[in-house]
Chains A and B, each alone.
Chain A
């Protein structure tokens, strides 16, 4: 194979910054090819994406709203991945998490607003976590592969939620399959309302308080994974299960903990969607954000500091992408699903494609500079 570089000589910023950026550029080039095949000009598409996501304040607010969702689902995938578990079920866990938010907001609305919010957050975490618990238990105790069970649980969650939304908790005064709205005081304040508070006039955008919750969740994940005994044990199991067992760490316990926390984080997506945007459960609200979380986490190298820019990038692609689909009839929003796939391919499965070349290039360059 090509030249092998001594890992210890490679500066951290080459392996954690330059290589991911090279991979991302490759992914975007392939994506440009797709846009070309679909019959549109990729350069025009990039211009539209940048205008749509940064060009005006509401556009940027939309970008951050999408970013919020991707932070939650990206963190969710990352936590499980540190234990070497592929939680592909973020979609279903977020959907079920919506129930927790809804029940807290409906049944405890007599309590002061901040307490209801806390209960709603707890509800999202508990319901999302519970939906991840069963696949986790089956993986830990029965060895059923978590990828298949979590995918199946996405299908089951979708059927269950449609059943509930049609037959059980539907707003009977309305046609569509959705619940009644939660009390108006409970709606998360939006960016527009913040703007009014400090005297800036902006038009409506779905960006809301959940964004700050997402930042808090990032800090929590960093602390959990790298600063607690739990996080250490989870990573130990993920890294080398046999060694972990030898060190007295129970893989069963950690598989379940990692998956439940992961499901809880995915559940938080429902806070953004239910309390922040729709104010009720609408059918299909997770809308693929759970799957995008996989790409976000892999691109962000499963670290909150990496997940934030990755989530922002996908926020840009989503918001800018909707601008593109508006202006370019040949591009549908599914093109951006394909782009996610390409990004997962290059920053996940093919992450080592050019790593040896890039690393040896920089190592040689640094050596020359030291000598000269």
Chain B
């Protein structure tokens, strides 16, 4: 039974750790499918985490914190659009600017408002999201296999975990089954064709960025008002980049991106489990090297050992309307 408990906790943490990656990957999917590079997922996730924590501390409700985080992230997405869609600035530079700006600003404002360098006050239970236990979880636990899956793996997560997995089929439906999705993909592949069909390329890209801002806000709020009870400096820890790598590895497709996110999540969960554990023949691996595993995995996967990823054709190029 020991191994079952281990497996349950590993799968349970995989679902939880993958959550912000999934939101971020879905957010990135909208932006990149419309032809706008989004390296700023990292900075936006950090912003959302900060704003959600501060908002729910001041207003006493994590939902208000989440709404404020959405407003903040949509604003940053609009800024990215203003620079790279309207003013045709370099998209990567715009993202780097947003990331560096928000790493600095979140920490600096936390220091200015709360007097601790890059920490916000700890939230009480009313100010944060709590785990949701499924009905009858305790009663069913004793049933073999079903009870194990239902009570130990699926039950007892934060609301964001469930929302993240629900978001994937919805994103799939929007992007591949609606006319909005068709236009979105067309704008990313061949904007001039879309333009000649009478659809406003700029408006489409702004709409995509707006959805992008909403989705990424959930990732940040999950970090600071659910899993943790406060914001701390650089708490996104590269997840925005990992999510983008998952998106590329998943070939800009919701289903495969989800699998990639789960893979990263599983690696991270395993990494945490392996710390300090003595492995047969190898011995104890130094903790710093174990912590580097997700990053190494990202590099290896991106190196395309599983086939080359070809992105939307017009990605990274500002659209210049012919006159």
**CB of B243 to closest CB in A, whole Å:** 10
Query: What 1/0 flags go to A309-343 for Cβ under 8 Å of B?
Result: 00000000000000000000111101111111110
| Chain B residues whose C-beta falls within 8 Å of the C-beta of A331 in the assembled complex | 108, 112
B 45-88 contacts with A by CB, 8 A: 79, 82-84, 87-88
Chosen A-B contacts, 14 in total, with CB atoms closer than 8 Å, are A142-B304, A147-B39, A148-B302, A151-B238, A152-B245, A152-B295, A156-B292, A159-B292, A335-B104, A336-B104, A344-B96, A349-B91, A351-B89, A352-B89
| Chain A residues whose C-beta falls within 8 Å of the C-beta of B101 in the assembled complex | 338, 340-342, 344-345
| Chain B residues whose C-beta falls within 8 Å of the C-beta of A183 in the assembled complex | none
B20 within 8 A of A: no
A149 vs B115: C-alpha distance in the bound complex, in angstroms? Answer: 35
A160 vs B295: C-alpha distance in the bound complex, in angstroms? Answer: 12
Binding site for B on A (CB under 8 A): 34, 37-39, 86, 88, 134, 138, 142-145, 147-149, 151-153, 155-156, 159-160, 162-163, 166-167, 291, 294-295, 298, 329-332, 334-342, 344-345, 348-353
**CB of A90 to closest CB in B, whole Å:** 12
| Chain A residues whose C-beta falls within 8 Å of the C-beta of B204 in the assembled complex | none
Residues A86 and B238 in contact, CB atoms below 8 Å apart: no
| Chain A residues whose C-beta falls within 8 Å of the C-beta of B108 in the assembled complex | 34, 38, 331-332, 334-335, 337-338
Residues B100 and A295 in contact, CB atoms below 8 Å apart: yes
| Chain A residues whose C-beta falls within 8 Å of the C-beta of B104 in the assembled complex | 334-341
A148, A166, A349, A350 — which one has the most chain B CB atoms within 10 A of its CB?
Answer: A349
A148 vs B242: C-alpha distance in the bound complex, in angstroms? Answer: 8
| Chain B residues whose C-beta falls within 8 Å of the C-beta of A330 in the assembled complex | 111-112
Residues A352 and B88 in contact, CB atoms below 8 Å apart: yes
Residues A337 and B87 in contact, CB atoms below 8 Å apart: no
B163 within 8 A of A: no
**CB of A12 to closest CB in B, whole Å:** 21
Residue of A nearest to B310 (CB): A143
Residues A166 and B89 in contact, CB atoms below 8 Å apart: no
Residue of A nearest to B91 (CB): A349
B 240-263 contacts with A by CB, 8 A: 241, 244-245, 248
B117 within 8 A of A: yes
Q: Which of B96, B103, B112, B286 contacts A332 (CB 8 A)?
A: B112
| Chain A residues whose C-beta falls within 8 Å of the C-beta of B79 in the assembled complex | 345
A153 vs B292: C-alpha distance in the bound complex, in angstroms? Answer: 10
Q: Which of B111, B245, B292 contacts A148 (CB 8 A)?
A: B245
| Chain A residues whose C-beta falls within 8 Å of the C-beta of B286 in the assembled complex | 163, 166-167
Known: A38-B108, A145-B248. A349 touches B97 (CB 8 A): yes
Residue of A nearest to B296 (CB): A156
| Chain B residues whose C-beta falls within 8 Å of the C-beta of A295 in the assembled complex | 100
- Other than the given A134-B299, A337-B108, A350-B82, 20 more pairs (CB < 8 A) read A38-B108, A38-B109, A86-B92, A152-B241, A152-B298, A159-B288, A159-B292, A160-B289, A166-B286, A331-B112, A332-B107, A335-B104, A336-B104, A337-B104, A340-B101, A341-B103, A341-B105, A349-B83, A349-B94, A353-B87
A94 vs B90: C-alpha distance in the bound complex, in angstroms? Answer: 26
A166 vs B94: C-alpha distance in the bound complex, in angstroms? Answer: 37
A332 vs B115: C-alpha distance in the bound complex, in angstroms? Answer: 10
A86 vs B102: C-alpha distance in the bound complex, in angstroms? Answer: 19
A333 vs B187: C-alpha distance in the bound complex, in angstroms? Answer: 42
| Chain B residues whose C-beta falls within 8 Å of the C-beta of A39 in the assembled complex | 112
Known: A160-B292, A294-B96, A350-B89. A338 touches B303 (CB 8 A): no
Residues B97 and A337 in contact, CB atoms below 8 Å apart: no
Residues A341 and B289 in contact, CB atoms below 8 Å apart: no
A358 vs B245: C-alpha distance in the bound complex, in angstroms? Answer: 40
B151 within 8 A of A: no
What is the predominant secondary structure among interface residues of chain A facing chain B?
Answer: helix
| Chain A residues whose C-beta falls within 8 Å of the C-beta of B308 in the assembled complex | 142-143
B93 within 8 A of A: yes
B118 within 8 A of A: yes
Residue of A nearest to B299 (CB): A152
B236 within 8 A of A: no
B314 within 8 A of A: no
What 9 A-B pairs have minimum CB-CB distances, sorted nearest first? A341-B101, A337-B104, A338-B104, A349-B94, A38-B112, A345-B97, A349-B89, A348-B93, A334-B107
A39, A88, A332, A339 — which one has the most chain B CB atoms within 10 A of its CB?
Answer: A332
Q: Which of B87, B99, B244, B304 contacts A143 (CB 8 A)?
A: B304
B275 within 8 A of A: no
Residues B299 and A341 in contact, CB atoms below 8 Å apart: no
A151 vs B237: C-alpha distance in the bound complex, in angstroms? Answer: 11
Residues B90 and A348 in contact, CB atoms below 8 Å apart: yes
Q: Which of B97, B99, B109, B292 contacts A155 (CB 8 A)?
A: B292
Residues B111 and A334 in contact, CB atoms below 8 Å apart: yes
Residues B303 and A166 in contact, CB atoms below 8 Å apart: no
B291 within 8 A of A: yes
Query: What 1/0 flags go to B92-135 for Cβ under 8 Å of A?
Result: 11101111111111011101110101100000000000000000
A248 vs B108: C-alpha distance in the bound complex, in angstroms? Answer: 50
A152 vs B243: C-alpha distance in the bound complex, in angstroms? Answer: 12
**CB of B41 to closest CB in A, whole Å:** 11
A340 vs B238: C-alpha distance in the bound complex, in angstroms? Answer: 19
**CB of B177 to closest CB in A, whole Å:** 29
| Chain B residues whose C-beta falls within 8 Å of the C-beta of A134 in the assembled complex | 299
A148 vs B294: C-alpha distance in the bound complex, in angstroms? Answer: 13
Q: Which of B90, B97, B107, B291 contacts A159 (CB 8 A)?
A: B291
Residues A344 and B93 in contact, CB atoms below 8 Å apart: yes
Residues B244 and A148 in contact, CB atoms below 8 Å apart: yes
Query: What 1/0 flags go to B273-311 for Cβ under 8 Å of A?
Result: 000000000000010110110011011001110001100
Residues A344 and B89 in contact, CB atoms below 8 Å apart: no
A329 vs B109: C-alpha distance in the bound complex, in angstroms? Answer: 12
Residues B304 and A159 in contact, CB atoms below 8 Å apart: no
| Chain B residues whose C-beta falls within 8 Å of the C-beta of A147 in the assembled complex | 39, 92
**CB of A45 to closest CB in B, whole Å:** 13
A341 vs B91: C-alpha distance in the bound complex, in angstroms? Answer: 14
Known: A145-B248, A350-B89. A138 touches B107 (CB 8 A): no
| Chain A residues whose C-beta falls within 8 Å of the C-beta of B295 in the assembled complex | 152, 155-156, 159
**CB of A151 to closest CB in B, whole Å:** 5
